[in-house]
Structure 1
């Protein structure tokens, strides 16, 4: 009887280990002035995405401002609670799972990771307003049965100087939302983020520098990943959580993998192949790893036929060779 029990246990373990966990093949679905229709969702389905990040926004007037302004009638529809709900509901009707990812935008596009209050009073005001912002969308996430909720994006100084607030915020979010949680750390921030064990995924906006060449080729890009990949795998094992690329992407321009985070309006020469090569390399390096959960391509606009294309040097892969690279990887998962 004992030997039979051991045999059955071994069979169970073998069965569990052979099950391949579904990868998150996501797109970052950008909020618009408009409601979405089926016409806007069809390209997401066509590219093979099984997840979309829906991203309502809150705004700060400056890096020192403590008041998060959100869900107002002055915002674009897709950046509000009502808009996020409408986007989620139609995406879900099409079998697309959701990560709800409320984000902060600072006037003139200043980097959120540098946000720093000038007094204890301002820190407390920021904490109160940010909590209201996040709980509003955590409640929406629960109402819509969203699969993943992201509690913040690239807020390193806020996390560093107010760790107790974040521990408390996570607990409060857990009270109203029963799904999986993550935080979107910047690529050079994640190792210092203190609360990963309180979340379900280690979220990283994966703008790691890989190459300083004008026209990087796939093998060079894959080689460029090696100094980052091993620490990511080790960090995942240490924290006991899978890595999720809450954002990943490349601009369709020369030197695309040198500083992949660049969002300025420079007129660097369009390079469609470099963008496609960089996406192909990230898929080949990460999508077969057990410790890697998947990710969300940055970024995907709702009016598919009006964006991207051969003359665009921005992040979107739409209507470019990069879109076909994404489709080929997502559809075979």
Structure 2
């Protein structure tokens, strides 16, 4: 009887630990080159257990209906062949994958504004997008990818064409056996109509946290409170965990004010901001029971030549904040 009770206790400990395991991910940027184990090994150094692989499809303008993908004019890592190679190399280093096909609109136009002006063009876009997602969904099933993200920041598309999205999700589920999410922008996720059909509530978590040039840790934590309450409410409403399909900050002044900005016009370098804001996020959000984890934006395959002290973009590579991520990813393994 004692042995039975001991086994039962150990079982519940293991189950509890498994339920608390976080997705400690990075967004693995596509390159013109293939990857090797050398390129994926640094992820183990920072204790990452997931990577988002992000192939791209391209659209000419916000009102253009045709999506082109996996062409010979794209970088290798953006194609179906390259995506499969990236997945295989990450898996060889025991890194799980979320496959996250995305749209790039010429000149970097915001995908949330993608909308057609006629029924004919909507139907062309839907056919084009369906082919795009289903091709990568088949690859996800073939390569045993555990999470598939079916879209990224497409607010107008999903709000105006709900029937299409319901049908697309149903079709994916016919052959893909992993978990599904959608990457909603931080100001969009409360309105997404199909969360109940997915496994995670995906959020690109560029929430405004602080108006200060260099907020203190306490100020940054305070800035999370209303967003935490909102996410908890949405999570409970749908009985789904929140997954940060993207999160991160630049090492610049005021990087907590409008964290989504990636323009080159910001010239400052402020390593303290990036480290403080990431620490606040991990300490305030990561341990919450409704939080599944997330994917740090972003990580380039050639680690030794990426980031660095003079780089003020989102990557933490070879910056002080890399140690912040490494530390917290070790805590929430």
- Distance in 2 between the 1:85 and 1:16 partners? 32
How much has 1:267 moved relative to structure 2? Answer: 3.0
| Pair 191,123 (structure 1): closer, same or farther in 2 beyond 3 Å | same
| Pair 17,231 (structure 1): closer, same or farther in 2 beyond 3 Å | farther
CA RMSD of aligned residues (A): 1.7
**1:170-190 CA distances to partner (integer Å, 9 max, x unpaired)?**
001111211000000000000
- Distance in 2 between the 1:260 and 1:267 partners? 12
The aligned counterpart of 1:120 is: 119
The aligned counterpart of 1:141 is: 140
Please give the secondary structure, in 2, of the residue aligned with 1:176.
coil
Return 5+ residue gaps in structure 1 as ranges: 1-6
- For 1:176-325, list aligned pairs within 5 A: 176-325=175-324
The aligned counterpart of 1:29 is: 28
- For 1:76-155, list aligned pairs within 5 A: 76-155=75-154
Calculate the TM-score normalised by the size of structure 1. 0.95
- Distance in 2 between the 1:229 and 1:198 partners? 23
**1:84-127 CA distances to partner (integer Å, 9 max, x unpaired)?**
10000010011100000000000000000001101000000000
- Distance in 1 between the 2:308 and 2:13 partners? 45
- Distance in 1 between the 2:267 and 2:206 partners? 18
The aligned counterpart of 1:3 is: none
- Distance in 1 between the 2:296 and 2:268 partners? 22
Return 5+ residue gaps in structure 2 as ranges: none
| Pair 226,17 (structure 1): closer, same or farther in 2 beyond 3 Å | farther
Please give the secondary structure, in 2, of the residue aligned with 1:293.
strand
**1:280-330 CA distances to partner (integer Å, 9 max, x unpaired)?**
111111121111000000000001111111111100010001100000011
Calculate the TM-score normalised by the size of structure 2. 0.95
Please give the secondary structure, in 1, of the residue aligned with 2:20.
coil
Please give the secondary structure, in 2, of the residue aligned with 1:256.
coil
| Pair 13,235 (structure 1): closer, same or farther in 2 beyond 3 Å | farther
Which consecutive aligned stretches of 4+ in structure 1 deviate over 3 angstroms post-superposition?
A: 10-20
The aligned counterpart of 2:325 is: 326
- Distance in 1 between the 2:205 and 2:190 partners? 13
**1:237-279 CA distances to partner (integer Å, 9 max, x unpaired)?**
1101000000000011000000000021113311111001111
How many corresponding residue pairs?
326
The aligned counterpart of 1:42 is: 41
